[in-house]
Amino acid sequence: MVDTVEQNEAAAVLAQNEAIAAFEQSEAAAALLESRENVAITEQEVEQTPVDLKAPELYINRELSHLQFNIRVLEQALEEQHPLLERLMFLLIFSSNLDEFFEIRVAEQMTQLKYGREAVGPDAMHPKTVLDRISEICHLIVDRQYKILNDMIFLEMEKENIHFIRRHLWTEEQTAWVENYFQEKVVPVISPVGLDPSHPFPRLVNKSLNFIVELDGKDAFGRETGMAIIPAPRSLPRLIRLPDELCDGGDNLIFLSSIIHEFADELFPGMKVEGCYQFRITRNADMTFDMEEVEDLANTLRGELHSRKYGDAVRLEADQRTPEALIEFLQKEYKLDESQTYRVNGPVNLTRLMAVRDLVERNDLRWKPFSPGVPGKLKGDNVFDALRSGDQLLMHPFQSFTPVVDLLRQAAKDPDVVAIKQTLYRTGVKSDIVNALVEAARSGKEVTVVIELRARFDEESNLHLAARLQEAGCLVVYGVVGYKCHAKAMLIIREEGQKLVRYSHLGTGNYHSGTARLYTDYSYLTADQEVGEDVHKVFQQLTGMGKIQKLKKLYNAPFTLHAKMLELIRNETRLAKSGKKGHIMVKVNGLTEPKLIRALYEASAAGVKVDLIIRGMCRLRPGIEGLSDNINVRSIIGRFLEHTRVYYFGNNGKPEVFCASADWMERNMLNRVETGFQVFGKHAERLKRELDYYMKDNCQSWELQADGSYLQNKPAEGEEVFSAQQTLLEEFAR
């Protein structure tokens, strides 16, 4: 069994590499014209690089790089050092990620082709070629996913007395219980649809579970259509736990799909069900509208949210046992072809299997719990006092997010606090942060909240959030039309004596207590008045109108952050060219912005050591002799989702270190509102040490190769295993 999986793994990697090689040999379109440089640089500062830095072969395709990240997530399901249920979760997270990849990334490429608006990136790869490569790789990795699930995960769960019971194995008592469940829970809410001229093919919701049924016979009206659709009710769970008294111990689960399969005949009285097969349609879920025509963003979004469920089809998933005639019928109905069809050996809606976490109580098969640490100065009752004694830098989830919440809670109750300003991107309607803002507004404080309504897949939640805050008396604004507000900033203005004092929080992640336990992020808490003044100016730009305001200590996109990064990279290049040591370390979620990549190529060619820790997409191609052979690119995949954004520049022994809300992508640097801030002293030293941990990691890190593939790092013989995430847990958590 294991040999089979290893053979499939080898086959998948081989086919993947063949697809990448084919990509590299594809014809290159003209490179994009470069816009005016943000930072001037003289001929004496940087010599002309002999390589054309716009050449398409220097860039990895963004979509294929994104797909590589999803593959690395899937590979975690094979890591035996991970607890079994967590391995299952990685496999299901892969499904969720792939869903979004099709809903957004694949849908965008298909839309370009549909409307003749083909656009190429710096890799010059045509959308049709991109879609062909995606199809080749996705068919391989989806097949691999189901093999891992069926041949390994399910079998290992069986050994742990966790059973997914197929219907042919139900006992008489279990069958009776399931039939009763079907009659009481399923029949009242299910609506089978026979297909005939008066009942056309139903409009099925994005990613919903459905069944296509072959029928024999005539119904009560004498109709003989031969085919029907059964949409599985979205209100019903996809996994049901059998009562313990009906089983011989352990955890016993059955699929809703098995129940519908077993009793499908009862939904068509007097007719015979010849076949019943699962399928699912993935649709374009991106919301696009002309911002120039938008008069009320909230109302426009409310209208678009419904249409997201019924966008153009981009993928068909079907049970591999489905007859070809039915597959062809569905393909024709949804205008999809064979390359967009995925025949799977198991449930088509794997993401809904995440319910296992609530149905199975096996802590021995989960991550070992931990308590995030809290710095000593923040353990007191007064956070304001702690910040007056010095800045605080927290790394979540290893250190607690609670001090951030406590600061806002204290501000809400403190009679000396006169105003609170806050940005919210993803936070949830009932979060502790929102509760504190509501309390502050109701107590008479001036509360201003900038909510980004267009945070993808959180639009509806953010609309409800805005309504709740407005009802409490908060001033709610939606940022700037055309620029998503991705900045993470909180400002508290407190009256102390005869003056107003500003306290600030700046972060790399969202104000969400839940994700603060799952994502790695930095929080910077400070009473620095110049920082507070800068944060105040950022809020003025977001809520009011006016010219760009000069900031003293912060850098913000789309105005100064991009230019500052180019300046710092080129400073390292100048140092290296003058015989001094140059070193750059960047940790972000994505690296795709062409100017930054070209600057990194120039730095590497000049001899600068460049260490990049890029979780997801990376267009930069390392390992090109004479150009990028001084660049090391790695991705960390582990228990926690890496989300920190840190930029380090050696500066000839006088390091400059920054944190930010921004990745090194076009959208972050040029089309979003972002904040970046420099840290000093012990905090800068700490960030460098933690970056070194990630570069030292030899068990959860993956190295990007010149051909665009990734290889996982393994300890050399006799080398000690080192995990950055585990080291940080041991250093900070309890």
Contact status, residue 552 vs residue 533, Cβ threshold 8 Å: yes
Predicted confidence at residue 45, as pLDDT, reads 44
Nearest to 520 by CA among 687, 389, 665, 666: 687
- What is the helix (H) or strand (E) element at residue 395, kind and residue range? strand 392-396
Known binder of ligand: residue 306?
no
Around 33, how many Cα atoms within 13 Å sit in the side-chain half-sphere? 2
What are 162's two structure tokens?
Answer: 């966790």
Which residue out of 82, 126, 396, 486 is catalytically annotated?
A: 486
Q: Distance between CA 69 and CA 616 in Å, rounded?
A: 5
- Claim: this prediction has a pTM higher than 0.75: yes
Q: C-alpha angle with apex 700: 695 to 703, nearest 5 degrees? A: 60
**Consecutive 10-residue averages of pLDDT for the chain (734 residues):** 42 42 36 31 46 94 96 96 97 96 94 89 95 97 98 97 95 96 96 80 93 81 76 94 95 96 92 94 77 52 62 96 96 96 96 93 96 92 92 97 95 96 85 93 95 72 85 88 90 95 96 91 97 96 85 96 98 97 97 98 98 97 96 98 97 97 96 96 97 97 96 94 97 92
Instruction: Decide if 261 is catalytic.
Output: no
Contact 85, 366 (CB under 8 A): yes
Residue position matching structure tokens 């008069």: 295
Burial (CB count within 10 angstroms: exposed 0-12, middle 13-18, buried 19+), residue 541: middle
CB 287 within 8 Å of CB 301: yes
* Length reported for the chain: 734
Judging by beta carbons within 10 Å of its beta carbon (0-12, 13-18, 19+), is residue 643 exposed, middle or buried? Answer: buried
DSSP assignments along 597-617, one per residue: HHHHHHHHHTT-EEEEEESS-
Beta strand 499-507 with 519-526: parallel, antiparallel or unpaired? antiparallel
Residue 643 is labelled as binding a ligand: yes
pLDDT at residue 200 in the model: 83
Q: How far is CA 78 from CA 54, 89, 529, 561, in A?
A: 39, 12, 50, 40
Q: What angle do CA 5, 9, 11 make, to 5 degrees?
A: 115
**Largest CA-CA distance found in the chain, in angstroms, rounded:** 89
468 labelled ligand-binding = no
Placement of tokens 């140059």 in the chain: 582
For position 293, what pLDDT does the model report?
46
Q: Is 275 exposed, middle or buried (0-12, 13-18, 19+ CB in 10 A)?
A: middle
- Closest residue by Cα to residue 301 from 562, 481, 38: 481
**How far, in Å, are 172, 207, 348 from residue 458 at the CA level?**
45, 17, 24
Q: What is the pLDDT of residue 480?
A: 80
Of the candidates 259, 17, 255, the residue with the CA atom closest to the CA atom of residue 149: 255
User: CB under 8 Å to 331, separation ≥6 — which residues?
Assistant: 316, 337, 338, 340, 341
Q: Is position 615 annotated in a ligand binding site?
A: yes
Please report the pLDDT score of residue 536 as a whole number: 96
Tokens, residue 170: 């139900």
Place of tokens 């502790």: 432
DSSP labels, 632-676: EEEEE-SSSEE---EEEE-GGGS-EEEEES--BSHHHHHSEEEEE
- Strand 392-396 with 341-344, pairing: unpaired
Q: How would you write 280-343 as a 3-class SS string?
A: EEEECCCCCCCHHHCCCHHHHHHHHHHHHCCCCEEEEEEECCCCHHHHHHHHHHHCCCHHHEEE
**Domains, the chain, with CATH or none:** 175-361 (3.30.1840.10), 381-548 (3.30.870.10), 557-732 (3.30.870.10)
Alpha carbons 177 and 179: distance in angstroms, whole number: 5
Q: Give the model confidence (pLDDT) of 581-630 as tens digits.
A: 999 999 999 999 999 999 999 999 999 999 999 999 999 999 999 999 99
How many Cα atoms are found within 13 Å in the side-chain-facing hemisphere of 662? 31
Do 271 and 218 meet the contact criterion of CB atoms below 8 Å apart? yes
Q: Between the CA of residue 169 and those of 173, 247, 258, what are the distances in Å? A: 11, 12, 11
97: annotated binding-site residue?
A: yes
Q: How far apart are CA 634 and CA 648, in angstroms?
A: 16
Instruction: Name which of 448, 451, 453 is nearest 437 in CA terms.
Output: 448
* Phi and psi, residue 355, nearest 5°: -60, -15
Residue 355 burial by Cβ neighbours in a 10 Å radius (0-12, 13-18, 19+): middle
Q: Which residues does residue 634 pair with via DSSP β-bridges, in sequence order?
A: 613, 703
What are the backbone dihedrals phi and psi of residue 250, each rounded to the nearest 5 degrees, phi first? 80, -170
Contact 492, 416 (CB under 8 A): no
To 10 degrees, what angle do helices 107-114 and 127-148 make? 150
Q: Judge whether 617 and 592 are in contact, CB under 8 Å.
A: yes
- List helix spans (H) across 25-106: 62-75, 84-100
pLDDT at residue 299, as a whole number: 60
d(CA 492, CA 510): 18
Tokens of 684: 């800068």
